Amino acid sequence: MAQAAALSPALREEASEIIGSYRGQPSGLIQVLSRLQEKLGYLPRDVLKEVADTLGVSLTEVYGVVTFYALFTLKPRGRHTINLCKGTACYVRGAAQLIERLKKDYGLKPGDTTDDGRYTLEVIRCLGACGLGPAIMIDKDVHARVKPEKLGEILSRYE
């Protein structure tokens, strides 16, 4: 799993400016978190601490919001997101074998990001391609009838 890289001084300054624009405004919590997520790609712990201190809310409240809403993430995301369908049709056609191949070849488990920051794997319940399973979506591209031995070839298109 990829480790969170330290924010550059420029990003840290931009984050502080975003947070500072909501100083003393607890009602702005979701807005500031959304802006930070968009700017940083994820929400690091030290930034969340600054949000809590600046807005005047508890860190527990900040974490409650971050973990409740699916659009927020506490981990850095890869440049490419692999959404692997594990709905019934895809599951019976081999989705579990695709997950195993991603673990074996890329060290990638659901919810994790590769060490090189290239891919993040998310398991979803349906891509709407049930007759074409197992299916994966990489970024906005759907790949149908994916075989474990073809995963490397498919992923190499997303270097």
For the record, the structure tokens of 151 come out as 């995963």
Q: Does residue 1 carry a pLDDT above 70?
A: no
Q: Is the pTM of this model over 0.85?
A: no
> Cα dist. 111→22, 61, 82, 84, 153 in Å?
31, 23, 10, 11, 22
Residues 6+ apart with CB under 8 A from 104: none
Can you give the length of the chain in residues?
159
E strand or H helix at 46, and its extent?
A: helix 45-55
pLDDT of the residue at 5: 58
pLDDT of the residue at 4: 52
Query: Tell me: the pLDDT tens digits for 113-136?
Result: 998 989 999 999 998 999 999 999
Average pLDDT over residues 65-69: 93
Say how far apart CA 135 and CA 146 lie, in whole Å. 6
In the chain, CATH 3.40.30.10 covers 80-158
DSSP state of 87: S
Say how far apart CA 14 and CA 1 lie, in whole Å. 27
Average pLDDT over residues 42-48: 94
Q: Does residue 139 carry a pLDDT above 60?
A: yes
What value does the mean pLDDT of the chain take? 92
CATH architecture of 80-158: 3-Layer(aba) Sandwich (3.40)
pLDDT of the residue at 145: 97
Q: Does residue 63 carry a pLDDT above 80?
A: yes
Q: Does the CA dihedral 123-125-126-131 come out positive or negative?
A: positive
- What is the pLDDT confidence band of residue 44, given thresholds at 50, 70 and 90? very high
For the chain, percent of residues with pLDDT exceeding 90? 78
